[in-house]
Structures are given as C-alpha cells and as structure tokens.
Copies of this chain bind each other. A is one copy, B any other.
Amino acid sequence: MMKTNSGNFFEDYSIGQVIRHAVPRTLTGAERALYHALYPARGALYSSDEFARSCGLRQSPLDDLIVFHTVFGKTVPDISLNAVANLGYAQGRWLKPVWPGDTLTSESEVIGLKENSNGKSGVVWVRTTGRNQHGEAVLEYVRWVMVRKNRDTPTPEPVVPVLAPVVAPADLVVPRGLTFASHNDTLSGEPYRMGDYTVGEVIDHVDGVTIEEAEHMLATRLWQNTAKVHFDATFRPDGKRLIYGGHVISLARALSFNGLANAQMIVALNGGAHANPCFAGDTVRAWSEVLDKAETDAPGVGAIRLRLVATKGTAGALKDDSGKYLAEVLLDLDYWALLPN
C-alpha cells in the first residue's frame, strides 16, 4: 500500500533542488487534431502546414499551449499534488518550436521557499524547463504554489526570488526563420496588423462556449495531468470537478481569434492568475487588452503584449474597488504574441 505517490510536501523541497519529472511524451499531429476538437482554435499558423511554410517554418509546429500543457502536466505529481493554491506564473518563454514527432521531458528547479506564519504550509517557487529529445530547452517558466506541510519540521530561511513583472522585449525568442514578410491576411482571417492595435485598446471576443465535463477531462488527461480534483467527482464536498486552469487558458486564447487572428504565436508568459474556479456548465467568454507593443529582428514580425481575460460574464470588468477579482472572472493572463507589422 506504500508504493503509490503521495506527492511532495513543503518540507520536502530545498533551494537548488532539481526534480526531473517522469513520463516523457512524444507529440504528433494527433495532438494538434485533438486540440482543434477541444478548443475553437483557428490560428492559421498552427492549422496549416502550408501557411506555416509561407511564414518560413518547415511545417506547422505544435501549438504553443500544447507545449505548455505537456510540460506543465509532467510537473503535477511532483509539484502540485499537495498544493492548496496555484499562485502565479512569471518569466515564461517559448524557446524553440516543437515539431510533430518530438519527445518532451520536463524538469524543475526549486528557486524559492517561504513558510507561512501558521507553520502549516508554505510557498514554493520552481523554474520549470521543457526539453526536446535533443536536450534543447523549448519552454521555461517560473510557477509558485502554496503547498501543505506534512511534518513538524523547522522553518527554512525564506528565499523569495526576484521575478520580472514582464519579459523584456529584448528577451523574446522568435523561432528561427520566422517571417511575416508575406503574411496572408485573407487566409489568416483578419486584416489587423501591429499598427491597427493601440495600447489600452480592449477587444471583446464576443463568442461563448459552454463547457462539458467530458471535454475538460479529455483535455487534461491528454496533457497527462493527474490532479484528482479534475477527474473524481467524489473528491470535493460539493461533488464538482474543478476544471484545470490550463483548459480555461486554451479556451480563452482560442476565443481571442475573433479580433486577434493575427496574434499567431505566444512567445512569453509574463504572469497569470486563475481568479476563480471554473466548472462544467459555465459559459466562458473572453476579452483582451493591448498592454504594449515591441519590435523584433525578424522580417515583418512584431510583438504584442496582451492581457487575456476569461469570464463567465460580460466583457471589460475585472476587479472590484478593493482590487479583488470579480466573481465572474476566471483568468487574467499576461502574454507576448508575435503579430505581423
């Protein structure tokens, strides 16, 4: 009865510790097809090999969020099995495209630890790196979670990493060879380019999707995320299955096509909050705010910094007077995407 993984507790982590996560995964065009079935994804670069080739890539890479979910899913048994809360993301960067046939592994380094004053839990910061079969880093990001203590151990010296609030434009990695010099706006679906977006502009993505249990479980399993709370209706007292936050990210990002069709690739994750839990039956909508714009060295390729908000309600509202997220807000994500100049 002792062979099953009971996960790590706060006292099991130490600064500098490196955890190599289990179960490598080969991704193929099938994950792309499933992604299209699970989310209303329509980005041309991830939908069409021909479109990707017209942008200088050898074929359509795996969607940036497929890579994120796959790398993230592997960390769950080691990082978040005993987590009380998923507190934040920072300094996420996509470093290389992942191609059909590539095999991903995932590794995390503990970079911060701070026990809570109640002595019953603490915050753990990890820097997670996803690698392909050649050992090349394809994605890295920092995540911090609140984790329960299991034993009465001494409080460690607090180490709180200094995290940039946003990835600097100079640190964005544009996939080698990418060009939007001959970007076809008819095929991509919208004519709007960098110059058409202004900082502060808010875009209501209009469409809504009502989520079913089967859908979020299919998705979450596909990323080999094993957190019980997503699958076992007997786990929570209210009999509800909590939807994996990444499912809401992918859903909102796909909905944002309508108004941001040319924001082709996510290259950085500046931050994010899962503001409220999401459950089956919720109808998810999304809106975006343009936060910043930047140049890149690649031909015709600009970078746009976006706030992506998923809600169960209407567009535009985010927090109440006290700075607390409104109950209808599910997600507040801050990312950089590549968009034609």
A residues in contact (CB < 8 Å) with B = 1, 3-5, 20, 22-26, 28-34, 36-40, 42, 44, 47-51, 60, 77, 101, 103, 105, 133, 186-190, 192, 196, 202-210, 212-215, 217-219, 221-222, 224, 226, 228, 231-235, 241, 258-261, 281, 283
Q: Is the CB of A44 within 8 A of B31?
A: no
B51, B210, B219: the one within 8 Å of A233 (CB) = B210
**A48 nearest CB neighbor, chain B only:** B24
**A234 nearest CB neighbor, chain B only:** B283
Point out the residues of chain B lying under 8 angstroms from A33, CB to CB: 28, 30-31, 33-34, 222
Q: Is the CB of A206 within 8 A of B4?
A: yes
Q: Is the CB of A232 within 8 A of B283?
A: yes
With known contacts A28-B29, A30-B32, A212-B213, A203–B3 Cβ distance under 8 A = yes
- For the A-B complex with A26-B60, A37-B218 known, give 11 more contacts whose Cβ atoms are closer than 8 Å: A4-B259, A24-B48, A24-B50, A24-B51, A28-B33, A29-B29, A30-B33, A37-B221, A49-B101, A50-B133, A210-B231
**Distance of A188 from chain B, by nearest CB (Å):** 6
**Distance of A324 from chain B, by nearest CB (Å):** 25
Point out the residues of chain B lying under 8 angstroms from A217, CB to CB: 209, 212, 215
Point out the residues of chain B lying under 8 angstroms from A260, CB to CB: 3
CA distance A228 to B205 in the complex (A): 12
Point out the residues of chain B lying under 8 angstroms from A241, CB to CB: 210
CA distance A24 to B231 in the complex (A): 34
Q: Is the CB of B189 within 8 A of A103?
A: no
Across the A-B interface, give the 6 residue pairs with the lowest CB-CB distance, nearest first.
A22-B189, A30-B33, A214-B214, A24-B48, A30-B30, A210-B233
**Distance of A32 from chain B, by nearest CB (Å):** 7
Point out the residues of chain B lying under 8 angstroms from A226, CB to CB: 40, 42, 207, 258
With known contacts A3-B190, A38-B218, A233-B210, A47–B28 Cβ distance under 8 A = no
Write 10 A-B pairs (CB below 8 A) sorted by A numbering. A1-B203, A3-B192, A4-B206, A22-B187, A25-B48, A28-B32, A29-B29, A207-B228, A208-B228, A232-B283
**Distance of A193 from chain B, by nearest CB (Å):** 11
Q: Is the CB of A231 within 8 A of B202?
A: no
Point out the residues of chain B lying under 8 angstroms from A36, CB to CB: 221-222, 224
**Distance of A279 from chain B, by nearest CB (Å):** 13
**Distance of A20 from chain B, by nearest CB (Å):** 5
Q: Is the CB of A221 within 8 A of B40?
A: yes
CA distance A42 to B224 in the complex (A): 7
**Distance of A244 from chain B, by nearest CB (Å):** 13
CA distance A209 to B235 in the complex (A): 10
